[in-house]
Chain A
Amino acid sequence: MSQPLLEIDRLRVDFDLPGGTVTAVKDLSFTVHAGETLALVGESGSGKSVSSTAAMRLLPELARPDGAIRWHGGQQPEDLLLVGAKRMRQIRGNEISMIFQEPMTSLNPLHRIGRQIVEVLTKHTALRGSAARERACSLLEQVGIPDPERRLGSYPHELSGGQRQRVMIAMALACEPKLLIADEPTTALDVTVQAQILSLLKDLQQRYGMAILFITHDLGIVRHFADRVCVMQQGERVESGPTAELFADPQHAYTRMLIDAEPRGRKAPVPDQTPLLLEAHDLRVRFPMKKRLFRPADYFEAVRGIDLSVKRGQTLGIVGESGSGKSTLGRALLRLLESRGDIRFDDTALDGLDTAAMRPLRSRMQVVFQDPFGSLSPRMTVGEIIGEGLRVHAPLLGRRERDARVQEALADVALDPAMRHRYPHEFSGGQRQRIAIARALVLKPELLLLDEPTSALDRSVQATVIELLRDLQHKHDLTYLFISHDLAVVRALADSVLVMKDGEVVEQGDTEALFSQPRHTYTQELMRAAFLDHQAA
């Protein structure tokens, strides 16, 4: 650990934007030693990705880096901000490689996997033709892709997200780099897949002796994975040190806040005699697959016969990984999707009701979606967005009364009512999510479907949104259907939990019982993957 491999010395990155200069990174120094893992931790906008792209010299043209990035991987030390373009190309891929968050977009969808790996090999090594192909095959084998020979001929869309990330890792490893920069490599993946990818990286690190600069917002991963941690906030380093020390005794308030951001508390149960609000029996949703002439259409069943019941004031957590059918189930329960089976909402049978018959009920059941950027129309002001439901369900309301209700809803979600004349793009993710909640609340619903409402938010913002949801439930006696892949959040909010896999319920029960003694192996696997950090703690 004597000789540093990468030395970032008082790095500063300014962006010359039309509106003025924005400093993304200021006075940042850290070192990465050969063979170790340094985690760069911070929330969005903390400058963690900018500093690593500066090391690869992949910054956009508007950026002005200053300071020094010394690379000790070559024959002599060199400053990566100053070396020539030709040498930089050599370093990129050969000595430093990078993997990204989005394995879907990092691979070219038009070319086969094999061709893309071979391309890297021919660019950086002397391997050609069948030798390169063999090497590609062995790389795929090393990153744990089954049947690598056949997979070389696959297109990216034929692989799962986890497999695509494995291919990206294989490409990054093609030239046995000394440093691997991993920029949120598991953020887009399911928890069980995330655990696999992390152990793969760890394994490969030992085999090749490479250093890893691991960029993430998730402290849970860091605790398990990194040797040293550097915490960043708004472009500056707030704290750094060996992982164990930092977690045991965080010095800076921001670090403590990040570590404590995990949602706390449990949901208080409702009285036993509380009436049921929502009930479903043998609910099935199917989507038609490819239709062919003169042949009955094939169907894909996304939800396969689910029974559930929620009492008024309760929260039902619906947990599962992507593709488990949890969102489909939620939409079907609110009759946003066609389904078969019985649904009862407060003594009304919902199944069989058409759009017009559903309309009066719509104000009593509302939705909050995952993506706070996609769920608000960019061409309407916040006031118009929130007020839209009132136009439908309370058409007699005057403009002034409607405005008053909108302001009330905004105040409810702890936003300044004066903001109602602005457009959604002016708000941050957490604020947008609050707006989406206000849109649902303005109608005074009884049932709220929350589809991953916190997944797109930073941990610290997540905690405040969860707190808000909890308060609102208490205040308005709301019933929640809470869809999430995040077990910690579900545990803090739900009365009972339903674990889904491939459209079926694998386990269902009281939250505490289910979390303390998961019976199904899949539930156990989920918990192991999600609570990695707790066992280590």
Chain B
Amino acid sequence: MMTDTAVSTPDSAGDSLAREAWRRLKQNKAATTSLVLLALITLACVAGPWLTPWALDEVDWNAFLTPPSPENGHYAGTDANGRDLLTRVFHGGRVSLSVALVATFVSLVIGVLYGAVAGFIGGRTDNLMMRFVDIMYSLPFMFLVILLMVVFGRNILLIYAAIGAVEWLDMSRIVRGQVLALKRREFVEAAQALGVRSHKIVTRHLIPNAIGPVIVYVTLTVPKVILLESFLSFLGLGVQEPLTSWGVLISEGKDMMETAPWMLLVPSAFLAVTLLCLNFLGDGLRDALDPKTR
């Protein structure tokens, strides 16, 4: 039951959904702080290596395993080979962030489309499509990666591809579940009664309404991908020396935890801050994109 009382604010100027969302995101302090921090970290990773006086693989023969000190120019200390840690963290950030970005984007596009189509068509098609997902799930991830390496040789692009190929599975399941619930709503039926074509129903009605959980899941996927990459690198299947990534740096730091704690702490701090910011930003985005929260 509802009354016919007047509507909230008389702003009939007509803000687009994106501008409206941006305005609401700006009001969220945690999200804006996170956005700024993320931008700073990204900027540092992109521009940082040119600003530091040391190259990625340059050995400072005067400083092996020195703790952070401004006097010798190693602001985050050096590793056992006398390489500047800050430079390496920036370089590692380039790899980690780009893997995270590309793999998440790939999984987002494939997963959302695949899940939405499966859920919308339903019936036997849905069954077949989701069984394919199950089969993909049952393939051991390591086996897939090793297979790719054997066939195509070692290449950083393969890591992107391998991670993307696995991560979209979860996304497609989440989107399919959302779509299954959404397609029974009357606005979908109304669109069908209007004669709207199926692909338009999927893109215009179903996917935008499933966006909330998708965004939250994306913010969970990014850290997962960063960790997966470091796991692969740890096994020697990912990036190789002298190139590095946050995952590699952390696993190196872990071995030196007692003698050189900075080797663990510095890259971990970067990773942790990034992941935290992503989570806050995801929360903020979800709220901002929901037209009901005003």
Q: Given the interface contacts A378-B291, A379-B208, A421-B14, does A369 sit within 8 Å of B4 by beta carbon? A: no
Contact B194 A379 (CB under 8 A): no
**Contacts A377-B191, A428-B7 given; 15 further ones with Cβ under 8 A?**
A45-B2, A45-B3, A362-B193, A366-B194, A367-B189, A378-B291, A379-B17, A379-B208, A379-B211, A380-B204, A393-B194, A418-B12, A428-B3, A429-B2, A431-B7
Other-chain residue from A217, A421, A425, A460 in contact with B15 (beta carbon distance below 8 A): A421
Q: In the complex, what's the smallest C-beta–C-beta distance from A345 to chain B, in angstroms?
A: 14
Docked pose: A428 CA to B3 CA in angstroms: 6
Chain B residues with CB under 8 A of A378: 209, 291-292
Contact B187 A375 (CB under 8 A): yes
Interface string of A29-52 (1 = CB under 8 A from B): 000000000000001110000000
Residues on A lying within 8 angstroms of B by beta carbon are 43-45, 187, 217, 331, 334, 336, 358-360, 362-363, 365-367, 369-372, 374-381, 388-389, 392-393, 416, 418-419, 421-423, 425-431, 436, 439, 443, 456-458, 460-461, 464
> Which residue of A has the minimal Cβ distance to B17?
A379
Interface string of B1-34 (1 = CB under 8 A from A): 1111101100011110100000000000000000
Please provide the chain B residues from 241 to 287 with a CB less than 8 Å away from any CB of chain A in the complex: none
Chain B residues with CB under 8 A of A376: 187
Q: In the complex, what's the smallest C-beta–C-beta distance from A366 to chain B, in angstroms?
A: 6
Specify which of B3, B12, B192, B211 lies most central, judged by the most chain A CB atoms within 10 Å of its CB.
B3
Contact A377 B209 (CB under 8 A): yes
Chain A residues with CB under 8 A of B211: 379
Chain B residues with CB under 8 A of A360: 195
> Which residue of A has the minimal Cβ distance to B208?
A379
Contact B194 A362 (CB under 8 A): yes
Some 8 contacts from A to B, beta carbons below 8 A apart, are: A43-B1, A336-B193, A363-B194, A372-B2, A421-B15, A429-B1, A456-B1, A456-B2
Specify which of B2, B13, B196, B292 lies most central, judged by the most chain A CB atoms within 10 Å of its CB.
B2
Chain A residues with CB under 8 A of B224: none
Docked pose: A393 CA to B14 CA in angstroms: 25
**Chain B, interface residues (CB within 8 Å), range:** 20 to 34
Docked pose: A30 CA to B2 CA in angstroms: 24
Docked pose: A352 CA to B14 CA in angstroms: 44
Nearest 9 pairs of A and B residues by beta carbon: A429-B2, A421-B14, A362-B195, A375-B186, A44-B1, A430-B4, A418-B12, A379-B208, A389-B194
Q: Given the interface contacts A375-B186, A418-B12, A421-B12, does A430 sit within 8 Å of B192 by beta carbon? A: no
Chain A residues with CB under 8 A of B14: 381, 421
Q: Given the interface contacts A336-B193, A375-B190, A388-B194, does A217 sit within 8 Å of B7 by beta carbon? A: no
Residues on B lying within 8 angstroms of A by beta carbon are 1-5, 7-8, 12-15, 17, 185-187, 189-197, 204-205, 208-209, 211, 291-292
Docked pose: A56 CA to B209 CA in angstroms: 38
Q: In the complex, what's the smallest C-beta–C-beta distance from B147 to chain A, in angstroms?
A: 35
Q: Given the interface contacts A422-B7, A461-B4, does A392 sit within 8 Å of B193 by beta carbon? A: no
> Which residue of B has the minimal Cβ distance to A384?
B204
Contact A458 B2 (CB under 8 A): yes
Docked pose: A375 CA to B2 CA in angstroms: 15
> Which residue of A has the minimal Cβ distance to B1?
A44
Contact A388 B191 (CB under 8 A): yes
Other-chain residue from A377, A423, A458 in contact with B1 (beta carbon distance below 8 A): A458
Chain A residues with CB under 8 A of B5: 45, 428
Docked pose: A388 CA to B197 CA in angstroms: 11
Docked pose: A366 CA to B194 CA in angstroms: 7
Q: In the complex, what's the smallest C-beta–C-beta distance from B74 to chain A, in angstroms?
A: 49
Chain B residues with CB under 8 A of A427: 7
Chain B residues with CB under 8 A of A381: 14, 17
> Which residue of B has the minimal Cβ distance to A432?
B2
Q: Given the interface contacts A374-B185, A375-B186, A379-B208, does A388 sit within 8 Å of B12 by beta carbon? A: no
Contact A443 B4 (CB under 8 A): no
Chain B residues with CB under 8 A of A430: 2-4
Q: Given the interface contacts A377-B209, A427-B7, does A392 sit within 8 Å of B1 by beta carbon? A: no
Contact B7 A426 (CB under 8 A): yes
> Which residue of B has the minimal Cβ distance to A427?
B7
Contact A369 B291 (CB under 8 A): no
Q: In the complex, what's the smallest C-beta–C-beta distance from B42 to chain A, in angstroms?
A: 29
Docked pose: A430 CA to B4 CA in angstroms: 6
Docked pose: A431 CA to B185 CA in angstroms: 19
Contact B7 A457 (CB under 8 A): no
Chain A residues with CB under 8 A of B291: 378-379, 423, 425
Docked pose: A416 CA to B195 CA in angstroms: 27
Q: In the complex, what's the smallest C-beta–C-beta distance from A302 to chain B, in angstroms?
A: 16
Chain B residues with CB under 8 A of A423: 291
Docked pose: A426 CA to B185 CA in angstroms: 19
Q: In the complex, what's the smallest C-beta–C-beta distance from A478 to chain B, in angstroms?
A: 15
Q: In the complex, what's the smallest C-beta–C-beta distance from A30 to chain B, in angstroms?
A: 21
Contact A458 B205 (CB under 8 A): no
Chain B residues with CB under 8 A of A436: 190
Contact B190 A392 (CB under 8 A): no
Q: In the complex, what's the smallest C-beta–C-beta distance from A197 to chain B, in angstroms?
A: 18
Contact A359 B3 (CB under 8 A): no
> Which residue of A has the minimal Cβ distance to B187?
A377
Contact A367 B209 (CB under 8 A): no
> Which residue of A has the minimal Cβ distance to B291?
A423
Chain B residues with CB under 8 A of A429: 1-4
Q: In the complex, what's the smallest C-beta–C-beta distance from B47 to chain A, in angstroms?
A: 38
Docked pose: A431 CA to B4 CA in angstroms: 7
Contact B186 A458 (CB under 8 A): no
Q: In the complex, what's the smallest C-beta–C-beta distance from A362 to chain B, in angstroms?
A: 3
Q: In the complex, what's the smallest C-beta–C-beta distance from A198 to chain B, in angstroms?
A: 19
Docked pose: A531 CA to B4 CA in angstroms: 26
> Which residue of A has the minimal Cβ distance to B4?
A430
Chain B residues with CB under 8 A of A425: 291-292
Chain A residues with CB under 8 A of B7: 419, 422, 426-428, 431
> Which residue of B has the minimal Cβ distance to A424?
B291
> Which residue of A has the minimal Cβ distance to B185?
A374
Specify which of B8, B194, B209 lies most central, judged by the most chain A CB atoms within 10 Å of its CB.
B194
Contact B3 A369 (CB under 8 A): no
Contact B12 A419 (CB under 8 A): yes
Chain B residues with CB under 8 A of A418: 12
